[in-house]
A and B are shown apart, each in its own frame.
Chain A
Amino acid sequence: MHIPDGYLSPSTCLTLYASAAPFWYVALRKTRKLLFTRLVPLISVFAAFSFVIMMFNIPIPGGTTAHPLGVGIASIVLGPWASILALSTALFIQAFFFGDGGITTLGANCFNMAIVGSLVAWLVYRLISGRSAITSSRRVVAAALGGYIAINCAALFASVELGLQPLYFKNAAGAPLYAPYPLSIAIPAIMIGHLTFAGVAELVVSGGVVAYLQRANPGLLRFTAPGVPMPEEEAAGFAKGTGWTVARPLWTAVGLLMVLTPLGLLAAGKAWGEWTVHDFSSPTMRQQIAKVSGNVTPPASAPSGLERLSTIWTAPFPDYSPSFVHKLAFGYVLSAMFGIGIIILLSLLIKWLAARARPGPPQEPAQSEET
């Protein structure tokens, strides 16, 4: 995601330097106020650490490795403002000294990775971890998601910056002067790599480091968990959050997804490929199918295979809306709840079976989640 020189036009670079400047200013002021004389040694050494972390090869599922950015842990341990300074410093040295990422694009790179990354990671971490205990597994989930979402937000900013280049900067003959691909190519090309490899590497590092620090050095997690008792204090009667408390953010997400399900209704027409046997005989639906299929006329009758199979399995909620529910939107919500309920029950069942099958004591939650 380190954009090299030559990919962005000078005016874009200048805009992003200008956008980063106020954040740098505020970060410097806030950190100085907080750390005073400790500012220089802490930020310097931590920037060196961030630099080294970017060189780690993180093994990700599937057998490959990817480099993390370390923005998640930096933001969780130092808070967003000091993290902005530490990461910007690391990016500066990478650009100037090691030629990784450009000099003209340094403002853009700092804006995407150090600023957007730090703020998003911190926000997600704080939102999900809430007031859970320092050693709660919820903090591991929060850190992992924080890192994952932060790096993807940073990548999205980078891809938009790159994708805008051919729109605005062309020579007289119409040849793009900088990054040549429009948004429609730049965004998926960059996001696919980050939603998978780079994102997972960041997720592993953020979640894994927080899980490690919970066991080895919980004091480091204290800064971004104000008012939360430390493990020793909490041992004196503080019940460790379990069950509903730990999983609350997940349930909230599930609830949100369920509520948002009817949004599907706002999209006109049917989803491509979700046609039923009857749709092939209805003239309006035939028109719609042809329109979304690159003007390829659908066959005159429903494919025989589809017709045969459609009679074998009748879902309890055909078309996601139970027959006794007349309101389509309500039917969607109900069906979504039913579907999610089934998935949750199934996963609980699998977990229970797996726990029975595994010999010896069950693993600590913090350990199992870091992977």
Chain B
Amino acid sequence: MAAKHSDQSGFLERTTASFVDAMEHAFYAEQTARADGLLQRLDARVKLVGILALIVSAAAVHRLAVIGGLFAVAVALAALSRVSFNVLMKRVWITVLLFTGVIAFPAPFITPGQVVTHVPWFGWTVTSQGLASAGYLVLRVETAATLCVLLVLTTPWNHVLKALRVLRVPAVLVTILGMTYRYLFLVLQSAHDMFESRRSRMVGELTGSERRRVAASSAGVLMSKTFDLSSEVYLAMQSRGYRGDVTVLDEFQVRRFDWFMLAGFALVCAAAFWLGR
């Protein structure tokens, strides 16, 4: 991972770092999806529907304690699926806290309502409504993000996509999503190589306008490459007999364990809705 660079070419390093980060995320996801855990054993369709229902419940309920309960469910599912807490901490909990935490931070001070306490020196007042609203936001985002990451970390991406057919997503879109994911890494790799080679050829410092030109031209080169790639892919598809009809193979099987878990998800969501009205 590239270190933060104070020099003007830092944007090249930061960009390559984010490419590497995305690839790392994907490799880690593929690894954990193969592990032997509770969610990994579950039918992808049941898992997709169950986790989406939990996310919707987390977004819909009106009681902090119930959202907290759903968060606990997510943490328990992570533990049972052998997803490392370190990774969750780094990828989800701290990231969300840094982003949403900062956004929610002023809420206790500026939301009108019942004053709970005063901040000495500054003369600010903290309202209970403000505290509650900041709590809602942070807890909801943490819960939903944990659940979403759990889905991806325990399911191979092509299974997630095939499972989307349960939600009546058209087959052509499922195919597009699958192919996008496939070519995403190719485009990422080629962008990464472009930036790396640019970096290795650079000795001096670039001025502001030169940096912008490098960034824009790189985007332009990448776009031209993308078009060439899409033509090649198209020809390759045609030569294999592609005539525009898309079929998705559904090889899923729902077993007793899946029905049991589906009932579990339904029960948790129903309880959340009932308690969190």
- Supposing A5-B59, A5-B148, A97-B157 touch, asked if A37 and B242 sit within 8 A by C-beta, the answer is yes
In the assembled complex, the Cα of A209 lies from the Cα of B225 at a distance in Å of 13
Q: Are A40 and B148 in contact (CB under 8 A)?
A: no
Q: Which of B59, B213, B226, B229 contacts A6 (CB 8 A)?
A: B59
Tell me the nearest residue of chain A to B210, going by C-beta: A371
Task: Provide the A171-187 mask, 1 if CB < 8 A to any CB of B, else 0.
Answer: 10111111111000100
A4-B145, A7-B137, A48-B180 in contact; A212/B22 too (CB < 8 A)? Answer: no
Is the C-beta of A297 less than 8 angstroms from some C-beta in chain B?
no
> Given known contacts A6-B58, A37-B234, A99-B149, is B216 in contact with A208 (CB within 8 Å)?
yes
Contact of B219 among A45, A73, A171 (CB under 8 A): A73
CB-CB under 8 A from A174, the residues of chain B are 112-113, 129
B234–A205 touching, CB < 8 Å: no
In contact, A55 and B148 (Cβ under 8 angstroms): no
Whether B180 lies near A51 (C-beta < 8 A) is: yes
| Contacting residues, chain A, for B134 (C-beta < 8 A) | 180
CB of B115 within 8 Å of the partner chain:
no
* B140 and A41 contact, CB distance less than 8 A: no
Choice from A59, A89, A93, A216 contacting B224 with Cβ under 8 Å: A216
Q: A44-B180, A44-B183, A58-B212 are in contact. Are A53 and B219 (CB under 8 A)?
A: yes
Asked if A40 and B179 make an inter-chain contact with CB atoms under 8 angstroms apart, the answer reads: yes
CA distance in complex: A164, B114 (Å): 22
Q: Is A188 close to B, CB under 8 A? A: no
Pick from A6, A56, A63: contact of B141, CB below 8 A: A6
Which A residues touch B208, using CB under 8 A? 59, 61, 63, 371
Contact in complex: A177, B133 (CB < 8 Å): yes
**Segment 159-218 of A: residues with Cβ below 8 Å from B:** 166, 171, 173-181, 185, 204-205, 207-209, 211-213, 216-217
B77 on the A face (CB < 8 A)? no
A102 is an interface residue with CB less than 8 A from chain B: yes
Secondary structure dominating the interface of A: helix
Query: Are the C-beta atoms of A49 and B129 separated by less than 8 Å?
Result: no
Bound: A167/B114 CA distance, A? 18
Residues of A within 8 A of B227 (CB): 45, 217, 220
Is A102 a contact of B223 with CB atoms below 8 Å? no
Question: Across the interface, which residues of A come within 8 angstroms of B55, CB to CB?
Answer: 5, 103-104
CA of A205 to CA of B184, assembled, Å: 20
In residues 92-132 of chain B, which contact A (Cβ within 8 Å)?
Answer: 92, 96, 99-100, 104, 107, 110-114, 128-132
Sample of 20 more A-B contacts, CB < 8 Å, known A48-B188, A63-B208, A97-B152 = A4-B96, A5-B59, A9-B59, A28-B170, A90-B180, A99-B91, A103-B148, A104-B144, A171-B132, A175-B132, A177-B136, A180-B104, A204-B212, A205-B215, A208-B215, A211-B216, A212-B216, A212-B219, A213-B224, A217-B220
Contact residues of B with A, CB < 8 Å? 8, 10-11, 14-15, 18-19, 22, 25-26, 29, 52, 55-56, 58-60, 62, 91-92, 96, 99-100, 104, 107, 110-114, 128-134, 136-137, 139-141, 143-145, 148-149, 151-152, 157, 160, 170, 172-173, 175-184, 186-188, 191, 208-209, 211-213, 215-224, 226-227, 229-231, 233-234, 237-238, 242-244, 246
13 A-B Cβ contacts within 8 A? A5-B140, A6-B58, A6-B59, A41-B234, A44-B180, A56-B215, A57-B15, A171-B132, A175-B128, A175-B130, A177-B62, A177-B133, A216-B224
Residues of A with Cβ closer than 8 Å to B?
4-10, 13, 28, 32, 36-49, 51-53, 55-61, 63, 65, 70, 73, 77, 85, 89-90, 92-93, 95-99, 102-104, 166, 171, 173-181, 185, 204-205, 207-209, 211-213, 216-217, 220, 367, 370-371
| The 5 residue pairs across chains A and B that have the minimum distance between CB atoms | A208-B216, A6-B140, A212-B220, A5-B144, A44-B179
